[in-house]
Amino acid sequence: MEFNVKSGSPTKQRSACVVVGVFEPRRLSPAADSLDKASGGQISSLLRRGDIEGMPGQTLLLHNLPKTLADRILLVGCGRERDIGDKEYNRIVSSAVKRLNETGAMEGVNYLTELNVKGRDLHWKIRQTVEATRETLYRFDTLKSKKDETRRPLRKLTLMVPRRSDLPNGEAAAREGEAIAEGVSLAKDLGNLPGNICTPGYLAKQAKAMGKKYSKLKVSILEQAQMEKLGMGALLSVAKGSREAPQLIVMEYKGGKTKAKPTVLVGKGVTFDSGGISIKPSPSMDEMKYDMCGAASVFGALTACAELQLEINVIGVVPACENLPDGAASKPGDVVTSMSGQTIEVLNTDAEGRLILCDALTYCERFEPDAVVDIATLTGACVIALGRHASGVMGNHHPLVHELLNAGKSSGDRAWELPLWDEYNEQLKSNFADIPNIAGREGGTITAACFLSRFTKKYHWAHMDIAGTAWVSGENKGATGRPVALLTQFLIERSTSKK
């Protein structure tokens, strides 16, 4: 899919399809109005006859409108002009793209970028259009023997900006959108792949492939023997019950000054979480193939970062393994020693994410990071607390937490802070080791973060719980690619503001 940026009048576009908005109640957008005037009022007479009201989601395809150069005009309902916010704009773009893809036009010129979106500028609208277009056209059919292919799919979309002087800004926005969409799409693909294909080894191969593709990305993999040498007893205790070897994937993107301290992203990469000996109930257990979506988001954000050639140093760290029960698996009550030296009583083998993350987080100390952000499908409790709309954020450094929250706001990939107070930390008590890996049902998302906070004292750190946002269940089951957009925005802002 190709995106162009252009300026010019809708009547002058030689295109298979020009896309314009219609507001409720039956009011023309500026681009629709200019086509209407040129054609001697044909569009307004259709509106009068009631063919389209302008409600959000409505579309109407016109052919051979007089005095215009396009083969088709697609009218797209936009709702009330004053009511267009982020959500509405996304829906408008999405319904336009869906219809456009079905028309057989293969190419289109989009004037929906002229709509006023509350609190958003042209850059945002262009970038969002690219992201929403790619989102709408995303399919995961690699594992189907017969793919239902669109006959003449949309291949090229031109995004209109009001003036020639807007072209540089528009083009930069489109490039950002494409880079983010590329990262989101990779994160979705990895998430959607089943556990028998997307294994720890598969993730390591994926990382190496990325290292080949991008010259600024250096990839190395730590194997079990090296983990043993480093004393990663917590990580290894999770991998023990599986026949797949664990992998610690390290991806170093060097886009900044040699001496600039890196921003480190750590992604939970449990390629299947059965719960281990504390086995999960069967219903929906298939969805635990998504337990590597934190890792997928790190792959996605690094892809976007490399595509944009951001001037920043970023390191992605992914501890990858499976959590399965067998004769060698960890048992409830086992005590293991983490790389930090702290001993952990594994009271529940299903609280495995924090066990692999704690060693990965200790490993990060060697990078002398400017900041570390871990991303994990860590707790079911987060889905209860925040639902599916916001990722949870906690951290030991407020400015960092705020950077993430703000990146969420501006990218539309929202997050919400939960408190990391001492009172919660005090819930973590073990009779037999330094800390237990669980602390009761109450505040489960927070106590999981408190556990991690015991391993992140040496740097600025934030934790994102994406258990509610990384995928959707039900009829449209699938990975969302979140929070790649948030993380990329976070990195874009770090690359321009700091060093």
Minimum CB distance to ligand BES smaller for 94 or for 348: 348
Draw the binding track, 391-430, toward ligand BES (x: CB under 6 A; -: no contact).
Answer: ----------------------------------------
User: 15 or 391, CB closer to ligand BES?
Assistant: 391
Q: Judged by CB under 6 A, which of 179, 336, 438, 452 binds ligand BES? A: 438
- From 178, 273, 322, 465, residue interacting with Zn ion (rule: CB under 5 A): 273
Choice between 270 and 314, CB closer to Zn ion? 270
- In the complex, minimum distance from the CB of residue 378 to Zn ion, in angstroms, rounded to a whole number: 7
Q: Which is nearer to Mn ion, 278 or 313 (CB)?
A: 278
Binding residues among 351-370 for Mn ion as defined by CB under 5 A:
352
Q: Judge whether 458 counts as a catalytic residue.
A: no
Which of 176, 273, 403, 413 touches Mn ion (CB under 5 A)? 273
From 280, 388, 409, 458, the catalytic residue = 280
Q: Half-sphere exposure of residue 188, counting CA atoms within 13 Å on the CB side?
A: 22
Q: Show the site string, 248-277: x = touches ligand BES by CB under 6 A, - = not.
A: -------------------------x----
Exposure string (b/e) for 198-219, b if CB count within 10 Å is 16 or more?
bbbebbbebbeebbeebebbeb
The answer to whether 320 and 269 are in contact (CB under 8 A) is yes
Q: Of 187, 346, 381, 464, which one interacts with ligand BES (CB under 6 A)?
A: 381
List binders of Zn ion among 349-408 (CB under 5 A).
353
Q: Residue 344's CB: how many other CB atoms inside 10 A?
A: 27
Asked if 151 is an active-site residue, the reply is no
User: Binding string, 332-371, against ligand BES, x = CB under 6 A?
Assistant: ----------------x-xxxx------------------
Partner interacting with residue 128 (select from Zn ion, Mn ion, ligand BES, none; CB below 5-8 Å by kind): none
- 467 near ligand BES (CB under 6 A): yes
- Shorter beta-carbon distance to Zn ion: residue 56 or 353: 353
- Site membership for ligand BES, residue 374 (CB under 6 A): no
- Please say which residue, 59 or 242, places its beta carbon nearer to ligand BES: 242
Shortest separation between residue 467's beta carbon and ligand BES, angstroms? 4
Q: How many residues bind Mn ion (CB under 5 A)?
A: 3
CB half-sphere exposure, 55, CA atoms < 13 A: 5
Give the 3-state secondary structure of the chain. CEEEEECCCHHHCCCCCEEEEEEECCEECHHHHHHHHHCCCHHHHHHHCCCCCCCCCCEEEEECCCCCCCCEEEEEEEEEHHHCCHHHHHHHHHHHHHHHHHHCCCEEEECHHHCCCCCCCHHHHHHHHHHHHHHHHCCCCCCCCCCCCCCCCCCEEEEECCCHHHHHHHHHHHHHHHHHHHHHHHHHHHHHCCCCCCCHHHHHHHHHHHHHHCCCEEEEEECHHHHHHHCCHHHHHHHCCCCCCCEEEEEEEECCCCCCCCEEEEECEEEEECCCCCCCCCCCHHHHHHHHHHHHHHHHHHHHHHHHCCCCEEEEEEEEEEECCCCCCCCCCEEEECCCCCEEEECCCCCCHHHHHHHHHHHHHHHCCCEEEEEECCCHHHHHHHCCCCEEEEECCHHHHHHHHHHHHHHCCCEEECCCCHHHHCCCCCCCCCEECCCCCCCHHHHHHHHHHCCCCCCCEEEEECCCCCEECHHHCEECCCCHHHHHHHHHHHHHHCC
Stretch of residues binding Mn ion (CB under 5 A), selected from 333-341, 346-354, 377-385, 472-480: 346-354
Site for Zn ion in 288-327 (CB under 5 A): 291
Q: Is 465 in the site for Mn ion (CB under 5 A)?
A: no
Q: Which of 354, 414, 482, 494 is catalytic?
A: 354
Please say which residue, 178 or 291, places its beta carbon nearer to ligand BES: 291
Contact 312, 305 (CB under 8 A): yes
Nearer to ligand BES, 415 or 491 (CB): 415
379 binds, among Mn ion, ligand BES, Zn ion, none (CB under 5 to 8 A by kind): ligand BES
Q: Which does 237 bind (CB under 5 to 8 A by kind): Zn ion, Mn ion, ligand BES, none?
A: none
Pick one of Zn ion, Mn ion, ligand BES, none as the site partner of residue 400 (Cβ within 5 to 8 A by kind).
none
How far, in Å, CA of 99 to CA of 136, rounded?
A: 10
Q: Which of the listed partners (Zn ion, ligand BES, Mn ion, none) does 348 bind, with a CB threshold of 5 to 8 Å by partner kind?
A: ligand BES
- Give contact residues for ligand BES (rule: CB under 6 A): 273, 291, 348, 350-353, 377-381, 383, 438, 444, 467
- Give contact residues for Mn ion (rule: CB under 5 A): 273, 350, 352
Active-site amino acid positions: 280, 354
- Give contact residues for Zn ion (rule: CB under 5 A): 270, 273, 291, 353
